Amino acid sequence: MAIIDPRHAAKQFIYERVFRAATLAAAILVLLILGGVALSLVRGAWPAVKHFGFGFVTREVWNPVTDEYGALGPIYGTVVTSLIAMALAVPTGFGIALFLTELCPPWLKRPIGVAVELLAAVPSIIFGIWGLFVLAPVLQRHVQPWLIEHVHPIPFVGVLFKGPPFGIGILTAGIVLAIMVLPFIAATMRDVFDTVPPMLKESGYGLGATTWEVIWNVVVPHSRVGVVGGIMLGLGRALGETMAVTFVIGNAHRISMSLLAPGTTISSAIANEFTEAVGDLYTSSLIALGLLLFLITFTVIAVAQAMLRRLERNTSGHV
């Protein structure tokens, strides 16, 4: 029978308490940093909030000459470009993840997987340069004229594709964002699909199910919590992207129903104008934009956490 050394046990007890205290301090430090960021944003944005009130959120005007500022244009651009990116990236990432985990030949799985991960490592400014000098001319010469000619006459939908083909604009920014968030979504979904126990899939095949039926009825339900988490991860990346969007969106503080028109986002407006901001109200308005982006991102994360908890409860309730 092993004899426990009291001195060794006392030493391990001290180590355990130090370890617990260190991990607690690290967790509290994160909360303090987040609180400090929020406090500094509120403090810097307060002059603009006090001057414009809630009208700052509902106003479209942005005129540094007359010191009139409104955040509606950047908010609109941020939301629309992110929605375009998610509409393009989520189905594509879902298909890539399913192909890699269920259909891809073994010799091809690793090259495609490495390519997806390398795409995530490309700096955002490279995407911006590529979007400005490669993607935008292609869209201006070939894609946008076709959309104007064939889609614009369609009722209701056509209003989204009216106006001259600038090449740059909200649609271009959304496509660049989709390419940027695609590897994050695809890689997350791939890892989640890999966690499905092989026994579950083999049971489906043993009952005579097709590959599609196994994917839709076994893989997807088992992985839906992780799938939602991957989508929200990509959405958070799209909402806060700065440099790539700044290159291709046109940086115009106005709202247009047309996706071909130039626009702006919160992050691109801050990046473009912060170094040139003259006057306390101008600087405070830009910080207020940062506070709005902070609140939007925080809201998205909170909603994602609520959805994940609800899905986990539903999943555990059906087990």
Per-residue pLDDT for the chain (319 aa), expressed as one digit of tens each?
Answer: 456 677 777 888 888 899 999 999 999 999 999 999 999 999 999 999 999 988 899 998 999 888 899 999 999 999 999 999 999 999 999 999 999 988 888 888 888 888 888 888 889 899 999 999 999 999 999 999 999 998 888 888 888 998 899 999 999 999 999 999 999 999 889 988 988 888 888 888 888 888 888 888 888 888 888 888 888 888 988 998 888 999 999 988 889 899 999 999 999 999 999 888 888 899 999 999 999 999 998 888 888 888 778 777 776 655 4
Three-state SS letters, 109-154 = HHHHHHHHHHHHHCCHHHHHHHHHHHHHHHHHHHHHHHHHHHCCCC
* Cα–Cα distances in angstroms (integers) from residue 161 to residues 78, 111, 170, 242, in the given order: 19, 38, 11, 25
The domains located in the chain, with CATH, are 55-318 (1.10.3720.10)
201, 210 Cβ separation under 8 angstroms:
no
- What is the secondary structure of 61-115 as a DSSP string? -EETTTTEE-SHHHHHHHHHHHHHHHHHHHHHHHHHHHIIIII--HHHHHHHHHH
**The pLDDT of residue 203:** 87
Q: How many C-beta atoms surround the C-beta of residue 220 within 10 A? A: 16
Burial track 6-18 (b if 16+ CB lie within 10 A, e otherwise):
eeeeeeeeeeeee
Task: Spell out the alpha helix ranges (H) of the chain.
Answer: 6-52, 55-58, 72-98, 106-121, 124-130, 136-138, 144-150, 170-194, 198-206, 211-214, 220-240, 243-248, 266-273, 280-318
Q: Using an 8 Å Cβ cutoff, are 252 and 262 in contact?
A: yes
Burial class (CB in 10 A: 0-12, 13-18, 19+), 109: middle
Q: Which DSSP symbol is given to 216?
A: I
Q: Which pLDDT score, from 0 to 100, does residue 2 have?
A: 54
pTM score: 0.88
Contact 151, 249 (CB under 8 A): no
